[in-house]
Amino acid sequence: MDKKQIIALLNKDLEDEHGAIGQYLSHAYAMGEGEMAYEIEAIAREEMRHLDWLAEKIVELGGQPSLERGHMIMGGQSVKQWMENDVRLETGAVEQYRQHIGLIEDKGIKRLLERILSDEESHRTDFGKFVQEAQEGGIKDLRGSHSDDVIKALNWGIEHEYTVILQYLFQSYMTTNREAKKQFEDQAVNEMQHLGWLAEKIVGRKGSPVMKHKEVDTSTDLVHGLKADVKIERQVAEAYEKYAAAADDPGVKRLLLRLRDHELYHVDVFSNLLMEEQFKREEDEEEE
């Protein structure tokens, strides 16, 4: 099996990790606070770690990580049914990783996939226990069908946060600039927090979070990418300020203004990186 084929298999695994993250976070947010929701979020974080490992290996092999979202099993009329869907998703992941381990000869990649497989088997066991706990504990879906201007604004925020999470992660995988890599990773984590806060507010207002994203800028040129990041962060900071001014809920207003401040911080971080990279390139050109 050549590198191109291996990259294709790893990208399939990465896409399905992406799908699992979305499925599990959707379930956790809909359940509100509680031990089970906390444990499911912890599982989603482990899937994020898998996604990172796979993306780094793909880049190491000379490929680009896919940003497509893979298989999900949504639906279900109860938390118990959600947990059954999660068991099925993990069963599919276990089978796929076993298949890919058998196909790939590279010992280092096999070890990586075996490590991830171990987690997936554990996750399947955890979700199996959650099936019974959900039924016995009477855990319910706290979402509602309510929609108003505030919920629309919060879902707009989720769409933005989801988009830049993918954008900054992609940039972190593709750049060779260590400082930029660190900052992309840090800001992606911060945007993940934002997404969770927005989803919780929507559920608290008896609405339903919509987990979708816009088109992601996948340029591999650092200067181009940083310019795109600065532009989108400035636009979003302005939008959060506008939505905050119109919000009648003090808690929502505080959240939106906090998000605005975080986005302005991101503007400063990316602007500084951009100036440093442009200066470096100018120096390199002069030396030539």
List the CATH number of the domain containing 219.
1.20.1260.10
Domain co-membership, 33 together with 119: yes
Answer whether residue 122 is part of any domain.
yes
Report CA-CA distances (Å) from 135 to 78, 84, 130: 9, 11, 8
Q: At what angle do helices 35-60 and 3-31 cross, to 10 degrees?
A: 160
Using the Cα atoms of residue 195, residue 41, residue 17 and residue 111 in order, give the sign of their dihedral: positive
Answer whether residue 20 is part of any domain.
yes
User: What is the predicted pLDDT for the residue at 1?
Assistant: 84
For residues 251 and 154, is the Cβ–Cβ distance under 8 A? no
Answer whether residue 142 is part of any domain.
no
Domain co-membership, 244 together with 128: no
End-to-end CA gap in the chain: 41
Answer whether residue 144 is part of any domain.
no
Domain co-membership, 181 together with 281: yes
Domain co-membership, 82 together with 207: no
Q: DSSP string of 162-202?
A: HHHHHHHHHHHHH---HHHHHHHHHHHHHHHHHHHHHHHHH
Domain co-membership, 104 together with 216: no
pTM of the model: 0.94
Based on the structure, what is the number of domains in the chain?
Answer: 2
Domain co-membership, 133 together with 166: no
Domain co-membership, 45 together with 104: yes
User: What is the predicted pLDDT for the residue at 277?
Assistant: 94
Per-residue pLDDT of the chain (288 residues; tens, 9 = 90+): 899 999 999 999 999 999 999 999 999 999 988 899 999 999 999 999 999 999 999 999 999 999 999 999 998 889 999 999 999 999 999 999 999 999 999 999 999 999 999 999 999 999 999 999 998 877 888 999 999 999 999 999 999 999 999 999 999 999 999 999 999 999 999 999 999 999 999 999 999 999 999 999 999 999 999 999 999 999 999 999 999 999 989 999 999 999 999 999 999 999 999 999 999 888 877 776
Of 137, 159, 182, the one marking the end of a domain is 137
Nearest-angstrom CA–CA distance, 274 and 230 = 9
Of 79, 105, 137, the one marking the end of a domain is 137
List helix spans (H) across the chain.
3-31, 35-60, 79-103, 107-137, 149-174, 178-204, 222-246, 250-287
Answer whether residue 68 is part of any domain.
yes
Q: Which domain holds residue 166?
A: 149-287
Domain co-membership, 203 together with 116: no
Answer whether residue 275 is part of any domain.
yes
Q: Name residue, tokens 């989603």.
A: 44
Of 74, 105, 137, the one marking the end of a domain is 137
Domain co-membership, 180 together with 241: yes
Looking at residue 61, the DSSP 8-state letter turns out to be: T
Answer whether residue 190 is part of any domain.
yes
In this structure, the dihedral spanned by the alpha carbons of residues 44, 72, 10 and 120, taken in order and rounded to 10 degrees, is 50
Domain co-membership, 125 together with 167: no
Answer whether residue 143 is part of any domain.
no
Nearest-angstrom CA–CA distance, 163 and 169 = 10
Domain co-membership, 68 together with 111: yes
Domain co-membership, 163 together with 84: no
Report CA-CA distances (Å) from 10 to 58, 123, 234: 7, 20, 35
User: What is the predicted pLDDT for the residue at 288?
Assistant: 64
Nearest-angstrom CA–CA distance, 78 and 44 = 20
